[in-house]
Amino acid sequence: MTMFMDVHHGMAGITAEQLKAAHEADLAVQDREGVEFRQAWADPESGTVYCLSSAPSKEAVQRVHERTGHPADEVHPVPLQI
């Protein structure tokens, strides 16, 4: 499993409730892709959301996000962490 950071743009005005709902939707379907979403951070002002996950591939991360209606604009493997 590799760690991935994915980024969503265009989410200006996102609320804590919306972030929670989106994250929970991902958690509800992630098992079928072998993905585990760990953390998420949002900047409502610039409309940027970052999600950290462990997953078998970039495509698996994207499939979860697509299934829950919020495809990521970027998905980067982040094999180095500190």
Is residue 76 close enough to count as binding its own copies by CB under 8 A? Answer: yes
Nearest residue to 52 (alpha-carbon basis) of 68, 75, 70 = 75
Is residue 72 close enough to count as binding its own copies by CB under 8 A? Answer: no
Position among 35, 42, 60, 61 found at the interface with its own copies (CB under 8 A): 42
Nearest residue to 50 (alpha-carbon basis) of 81, 19, 28 = 19
Q: Give the amino acid at 56.
A: P
| Residue 10: both structure tokens together | 């265009």
CA distance 63 to 42: 21
Q: How far is the CB of 24 from its own copies (least distance, A)?
A: 9
User: Whose Cβ is closer to its own copies: residue 7's or residue 34's?
Assistant: 7
- Kindly list the residues in this chain that would bind its own copies in the complex (CB under 8 A): 3, 5, 14-16, 19-20, 23, 39-46, 48, 50, 52, 76-82
